[in-house]
Structure 1
Amino acid sequence: MNKAQLVDAIASEAGITKTDARKSLDAFIKVTGKALAGGDKIALVGFGSFAVAKKPGRTGRNPRTGASIKIAAKNVVKFKAGVELNALVK
């Protein structure tokens, strides 16, 4: 499912216009990104939780040449699904 299909599904499920669904989804993504960038965790009971984890720098290997390369440390977003979301998938 891509973003347009998700917006369509949200609009039909919630009984709102596609424009309002797109605005809501965009706002959720923006607010979530800002909160995570600020160091906050986001927990949505039943859905799941978002958090930022730090990946340390490491040494990798270029698959084409076999040369060693240094991979910089970075922050990544982690998502852990909630109980209700897991129950819907089974």
Structure 2
Amino acid sequence: MNKQQLIASMSRQLQQSQRQTKMELEQVLASIKQALIEGEKVFLPQFGTFELSYRLPQIARHPQTGASIEVEGQNVPRIKFSPNLKAALNPKAL
């Protein structure tokens, strides 16, 4: 499912225009992005937690020359899915 398909699905479920749904979805995504920029965790019950993780600087090898290069440390966004979502995706066989 891509973004446009998600908007269409949400629009049908909410019984509102796709234009309004797109604006609302854009606002949710912008709010999550801003919270991550500010270093906050975003917890969505029944779905998961968005947070930043710091990747330490490391030494890597250039694939063509084999020379060692230093890769700077950086913040990486991560999502940890809730146990409820994982259980819904992988129901236990009875």
1:38 maps to a residue whose letter is E
| Secondary structure at 2:5 match in 1 | helix
Residue 29 of structure 1 aligns to a residue in which SS? helix
What residue is the counterpart of 1:6 in the other structure? 6
Matching residue's letter, 1:6: L
The runs of 5 or more residues in structure 1 that have no matched partner are none
Larger C-alpha radius of gyration, 1 or 2?
Answer: 2
Unmatched tracts of structure 2, length 5 or more: none
Q: CA deviation at 1:64?
A: 1.7
Provide, for residues 33-53 of structure 1, a one-character-per-residue CA deviation record: whole Å limited to 9, x for no partner: 111111111111111111111
CA 16–86 in structure 1, closer or farther in 2 if over 3 Å, else same: farther
Return the offset for 1:61. 1.0
Aligned pairs, how many?
A: 90
Aligned: 1:24 with 2:33: no
Cα deviation code 1:12-42 (max 9, x no counterpart): 2222221121111110111111111111111
- Which residue in the other structure is 1:86 paired with? 86
Q: Distance in 2 between matches of 1:12 and 1:28?
A: 18
In the superposition, the TM-score normalised over structure 2's length comes to 0.86
Shift of 1:77: 0.8
User: What is the TM-score when the length of structure 1 is the normalising length?
Assistant: 0.89
